Amino acid sequence: MNPFTKFLFELQEISLLLWSALTGVFRRPRYIPEIIRQMDIIGVGSLPIVLLTGFFTGGVLILQTFPTLEYYGIHNEAGRSVATSLIRELGPVLTALMVSGRIGSAISAELGSMVVSQQIDAMRALGTDPHKKLVAPRVLALIIMLPLLTVAADIFGIVGGGVSASYIFDQDLNVFLNSVRNGITSNDLLGGVIKPIFFGLIIGGIACHKGLSTTGGTVGVGRSTINAVVLSSIWVIIFDFFLAKAIQSILGVGII
């Protein structure tokens, strides 16, 4: 099978998997406790690494851009540059990449282990749909929690930028915050929340597909885990371009 045919085949399989899982949510049983448990694992469990990533990303943005802005005499707009960069682009993408590395690998490894130990076959024999029981709660939890994690990363990124601007470059914190408020629009916020929803679908779909298609025993579990993280990270970055263009066309984000 050539690479292009393999890509189309996997795209079809992931699409069918997501469709089966998401449409099954509207039919009983709905496994609400499992959805809540996955939200806790994905959201609360990923919060520390996401907050650290956001805080130091905002700090390093100020560290790198403030001298240039000061050279051109527009250093009072440093908050605007940080807030715009984080909310439109860096916040959603970096959060998705962090979650992909932590949660995507965990989902793929967990489902892959269930496949090689024949637990999936046992579920089917007992009349339980693995897509509804295992895939749907994880994908839904990612769709719900990834935008919330992104908002948290954006907030801590702005805090990190404000701390760097205040303590390293002696900028008045009120000047920084006013610049942030003046630079953010409702369309920026909306676009920054739309992206993580699609990223959650990508991460969940790829991780679950790779886990459920595991072959080759325990060695195959490791291979599926690596493929899930690499592919979901790559597709987050690729899909981000098309999402950014679509949001720019529909909402006018990024157009002055």
Query: Is the per-residue pLDDT at 256 higher than 70?
Result: no
The confidence score (pLDDT) of residue 128 equals: 83
* Pick from 148, 247, 229: nearest CA to 190: 247
Residue predicted with more confidence, 216 or 226: 226
How much of the chain, in percent, has pLDDT values that exceed 70? 98
The whole-angstrom distance between residue 249's C-alpha and the CA centroid of its chain comes to 22
Q: CA-CA distances (angstroms) from residue 6 to 12, 94, 164, 206?
A: 10, 28, 47, 14
Q: CA-CA distances (angstroms) from residue 79 to 3, 14, 27, 179?
A: 45, 40, 47, 5
* Domain range summary for the chain, segments of one domain joined by +: 32-251
Number of other CB atoms surrounding residue 137 within 10 Å = 23
Residues 240/93, Cβ–Cβ less than 8 Å: yes
The confidence score (pLDDT) of residue 153 equals: 95
The confidence score (pLDDT) of residue 253 equals: 63
Query: Is the per-residue pLDDT at 1 higher than 70?
Result: no
* Cβ neighbours of residue 218 closer than 8 Å, sequence gap 6 or more: 116
The confidence score (pLDDT) of residue 53 equals: 94
Q: What is the pTM of this model?
A: 0.91
Q: pLDDT tens digit string along 164-201? A: 998 998 888 888 899 888 888 888 888 889 999 999 99
In angstroms, the CA 35 to CA 138 distance is 7
How much of the chain, in percent, has pLDDT values that exceed 90? 47
